[in-house]
Chain A
């Protein structure tokens, strides 16, 4: 079973994985920079992290080394904790301003 998955992953050239995850990562970065809605920005950050996960899994399969996949679990766990805190902050902001548009956050000049 395990061998099959590794072979299936290796069935596609490594370059493709690298390009795909780079593309996902760039989409995430652009989203963080250009979108104004806090929820969508959160999603874009998740997209960046998942691009990394994909890349790690692909490299891990190609190296035949499990540590890359373990790292993915770390990233997932930490990302969940991070989003929990982020959403809590967002709820506090929503209570005070009644919006999730980050343009209201201009009290401190950039």
Chain B
């Protein structure tokens, strides 16, 4: 809970720093604050605490995901500092990001549907603005508008679902709903199932699972690269953690009613996103489809729900987020002014900046799931969960689609090492980005070599 206070405080501080003209110290304070938030969260480990008459509950699941979000946010700030300082009003944008992080923490720690709704909205409303932060750019305008439209449309579905579930159970509290739902005779079962399905639709929009993904590639492509990185890491983590928390605790008792739907969504997500990603020219759009595909792999744990599902997800999101941040940092440096580059922009990168090419290779291999990197073990654990629950067909399909994934990730790797380019000027990266790349690189390798650091945590 202290983390929520720190994050909100940082947001307000960042607004005030514009007034008092202390912008220079803002960035170090934000980094320190995020580190402190993560530390305070980890100190609450193993002590389940409820706040505000059981509106938020910080159990181990919530603590692990909020700490993860704070740490990924720290990496993200290192990536985006230059962009915001050069192009926009840095304080406003930092404040928006920090407030949206508060929403993300709500989304992983809610124990009341009102908090789920508020968390999603706090996160999304800030992001609509961030997506459109290049005011003169029509692409960015369009991304913001589509994101806004789809976001509020999805919220409508989520709310209608919440209203129906409230109608049947008479409460918004997750524990009470879980008890009522588990009772042998529920009043109006059809209303309840309609409510559960509508909440699923609303949340599937947020995690951009097929067939509710169509907004994602456009929004990811149109937004500034740093905002895209934020959306495909932190927003994804928060939305998926919220989805999983709701269905694994609240509606686990009626899983027979929704598990088939989730399975269909999972299969569609895996197949459609991986195949579409192959046909993308823009690297950013390819990464967008790859992030949709990763939502599919995460959904497998919900289909094959058992007691190790949540630690498998935690490991997956951490490995995915570190690799993604690294990939987006490099894309940002390679593309620079021109936001939407094709794979040709990576031609001969190994001659222009060998370290960047190496980091990109590791990041993409980790996303593709090649041993011994973190991404491989993340997929491996998820497949193990599914295998133990008897979903052999789903595992085979997921392995097949990740082979397709290897194909489109390798296109960039091949471009970097084997193709030559007319431009041979070396690319200079800021010191901060080099530090960030080293951190992501180490994280991908160390977590791959020693997955036990995270995997048995929750």
Contacts and interface: CB of A to CB of B under 8 A. Distances in A.
Interface of A: 18, 21, 25, 28-29, 32, 38, 41, 45, 48-49, 51-52, 55-56, 59, 62-63, 65, 67-68, 70-71, 74-75, 78, 81-82, 85-86, 88-90, 92-93, 96-97, 102, 105, 107-110
B145 A55 contact: no
Interface of B: 114, 117-118, 121, 125, 128-129, 132, 135-136, 138-139, 141-146, 148-149, 152-153, 155-156, 159-160, 162-164, 166-167, 170-172, 191, 214, 217-218, 221-222
A48 B159 CA distance: 9
B128 A89 contact: yes
Given A86-B128, A105-B142, 20 more contacts: A18-B167, A38-B145, A45-B152, A48-B153, A51-B160, A55-B167, A59-B166, A67-B172, A71-B166, A78-B125, A81-B125, A82-B125, A85-B125, A89-B129, A89-B148, A93-B142, A96-B138, A107-B138, A108-B146, A108-B217
Given A74-B117, A78-B117, A86-B152, A92 B132 contact: yes
23 contacts: A18-B167, A25-B160, A38-B145, A41-B149, A59-B163, A62-B167, A68-B163, A78-B117, A78-B121, A82-B121, A85-B125, A85-B128, A85-B129, A89-B141, A89-B144, A90-B145, A96-B136, A96-B141, A97-B138, A108-B142, A108-B143, A108-B146, A108-B221
A25 B135 CA distance: 33
Contact of A71 (B114, B135, B155, B160): B114
A107 B152 CA distance: 22
Given A89-B128, A108-B142, A55 B149 contact: no
Contact of B218 (A38, A70, A88, A108): A108
Given A32-B153, A55-B160, A86-B128, A93 B171 contact: no
Contacts of B129: 85, 88-89
Contacts of B156: 25, 28-29, 45, 48-49, 52
Contacts of A89: 128-129, 132, 141, 144-145, 148
Nearest to A38: B145
Nearest to A59: B167
B148 A86 contact: yes
Task: For the complex of A and B, list the 10 residue pairs with the smallest distance between their C-beta atoms, beginning with the closest.
Answer: A48-B156, A59-B167, A108-B218, A52-B159, A55-B163, A105-B142, A63-B170, A78-B121, A93-B141, A89-B144
B117 A110 contact: no
Given A52-B163, A107-B222, A74 B153 contact: no
A68 B166 contact: yes
Nearest to B218: A108
A32 B118 contact: no
Given A56-B163, A68-B166, A85-B125, A110 B144 contact: no
B399 to A, nearest CB: 30
B160 A108 contact: no
A29 B152 CA distance: 11
A78 B114 CA distance: 11
